[in-house]
Amino acid sequence: IYMGDWSSDVCSSDLAPVEIREKVVFAGDELPAALQELSGVAGVRESLIVSTCNRTELYCLSEGDEQPLVAWLSGWHDLTAHNLDIAGSLYRLHGTPAIQHVFSVACGLDSLVLGEPQILGQLKTAYRAAQDQRVTGPYLNRLMQTAFSVAKRVRTQTRIGANAVSVASAAVALARKIFEDFADHTALLVGAGETIALAARHLRAHGLRRMIVANRSLDRAQELAQEFDGFAISIEALATHLPEADIVISSTASPTPVITYDAVRAAIRARRRKPIFMVDIAVPRDIEPEVAKLEDIYLFTIDDLQGVVNENLATRREAAHDANDMLALEIAQFEQQLKTLDAVPTIRQLRDEAEIVRAHTDRKSTRLNSSHPYRS
């Protein structure tokens, strides 16, 4: 992003295929060196790098066009060695659109999942890294601090972050309607893929302490369970541990159900009719459909969750309109602040010149006074 001629060079999923995005990621350990080198690119006065799983962005205050930044990005990642040309996968923003883009990113309005909060934390991490390397200045500092403040207001004054918009988060949101407090309950997670891992994170974030992870690969189950201080079991041991579970979330690639009607009926008897909340995210289904007929069982399928997700997305889209109205006002105020920053060097120069004139006048006055014949 250039100040004065603000711009950003961006590589994201909107334009860039995954084979390019994966090549331009900045790993955490290389970020300090990259920031130092970027700050040395011709014309760059301030810089910041945002690199996530879905976007790589360079925010710069610079004099000149963006071509040196494109060349640097390509050179840093040695893209010519991979026969990759990123020119068609970039978009460049200048002036007000660039400011609007940064604010939108901070608020989650530019995310794959509308309103997701993770990007704000990633922006703050990127900003801290740039500050640590002393490559930001008054303009980027003001931009990022304002973006963080705007994002906080948008989240508190609109419903952009309300309600679950992923299958995993929707499953946990439904579970919270059954169990007011997760702290004293146990979750049985069947499978160890990305969806189950995400569900585990949501459960832990809401206070659930005990998890059991079941998977065909016990090693993978142990790996995921260890991340959340849980227990790992094999798929074959499901029926044995099912009575321990208050919450069951299942997502495997099994062609046939892994949780049977008989196993769940036995579990309910062993639990003395304490209810079990069950979510079957798999296609084909992991839980036999007849399980839904059992009393004290709350069974939801992927279709049930998708309906929740769609409703919540509609709510977030409505909130996005309110958020964009807020951003328009914030951008106008921010641009006024920038004019003040632009005036600072001129004011400082005038003060310096005034000081020189004052000092010169004082010296001249002193000489005149000392040379006057009637002065003692």
CA gap 165, 157 in Å, rounded: 19
Q: From the CB of residue 188, how many other CB atoms can be counted at a distance below 10 Å?
A: 27
Question: With the C-alpha atoms ordered 190, 194, 195, 196, is the resulting torsion angle positive or negative?
Answer: positive
Structure tokens at 156: 């508190």
Q: How far is Cα of residue 262 from the mean position of the Cα atoms in its chain?
A: 43
Is 101 in a helix, a strand, or coil?
helix
Asked whether 116 and 312 are in contact (CB, 8 A), the reply is no
d(CA 309, CA 164): 6
Give 358's contacts (C-beta < 8 A, 6+ positions apart). Answer: none
Residue 127 structure tokens: 């900003």
Q: Is 87 exposed, middle or buried (0-12, 13-18, 19+ CB in 10 A)?
A: exposed
Closest to 166 (Cα-Cα) out of 278, 301, 312, 298: 312
Is residue 53 annotated as a catalytic residue, yes or no? yes
Q: Residue 271: exposed, middle, or buried by beta-carbon count in 10 A (0-12, 13-18, 19+)?
A: middle
**Angle 83-87-89 (CA atoms, 0-180°, nearest 5)?**
95
Amino acid, single-letter form, for residue 268: I
- Per DSSP, the three-state class of 193 is coil
CA 313 to chain CA centroid, Å, is: 17
d(CA 187, CA 12): 36
Instruction: Let me know how long the chain is.
Output: 376
Which of 11, 53, 60, 107 is catalytic? The answer is 53
| Residue pair 196/216 in contact by the 8 Å Cβ criterion | no
Question: Rounded distance, CA 199 to CA 185, Å?
Answer: 15
Q: How many CB atoms lie within 10 A of CB 350?
A: 10
In this structure, are residues 189 and 212 in contact, taking their beta carbons and an 8 Å threshold? yes
Catalytic residues: 53
